[in-house]
Amino acid sequence: MDTNSHSDTPNTMGSQDIAKMCKALGHPARVRIVQELYRRQSCIGCDLVDQLGLAQSTTSEHLRILKQAGIIVGEIEHPRICYRLNDSIIQGLQQWLFSLLDAPENSESTSSSSAIEH
């Protein structure tokens, strides 16, 4: 299996998918959005603006980036959009993170990562 390829199943996410999600989560405001959506299960965009204390346009840009990375989904509830976490993507990211924790200490990846540091 090519670890760089895209897959829709959470347990076979490729390295490009993981990198895309990590990049999207690379801003404190976007991390706060994900935390808020986790806490609330779903949220109207204007409520996120109030919660974050950012301008509507700034919040919208952060939501766009998270949505483009697949981390969140937006469902139209006229006249607003209701956002929620994309459960399958979050589960895939969680599985990937847990796989890092479950890796044996003396694995090949540990020795290669120490070689990279030198």
The domain locations on the chain are 13-101
Give the number of other CB atoms < 10 A from CB of residue 25: 17
Residue 97's pLDDT is 87
pLDDT confidence band for 102 (50 / 70 / 90): confident
CA R_g for the chain: 17
Sequence-distant (6+) residues with CB within 8 A of 10 are 88, 89, 91, 92, 95
Q: Which two tokens stand for residue 113?
A: 């990562």
- pLDDT at residue 1 tops 50: no
Residue 65's pLDDT is 96
Task: Check if the beta carbon of residue 70 is closer than 8 Å to that of residue 86.
Answer: yes
Sequence-distant (6+) residues with CB within 8 A of 36 are 43, 48, 51, 52
Residue 34's pLDDT is 93
Distances (CA, A) of 76 to 22, 23, 79: 26, 26, 7
Cα 59 from Cα 50, distance rounded (Å): 10
| Residue-wise pLDDT tens digits, 76-90 | 878 888 899 999 898
Indicate whether this model's pTM tops 0.85: no
Query: What is the dotted CATH code of the domain comprising 13-101?
Result: 1.10.10.10
**Is the pLDDT higher at 72 or at 3?**
72
- pLDDT at residue 50 tops 90: no
- pLDDT at residue 28 tops 80: yes
pLDDT confidence band for 107 (50 / 70 / 90): low
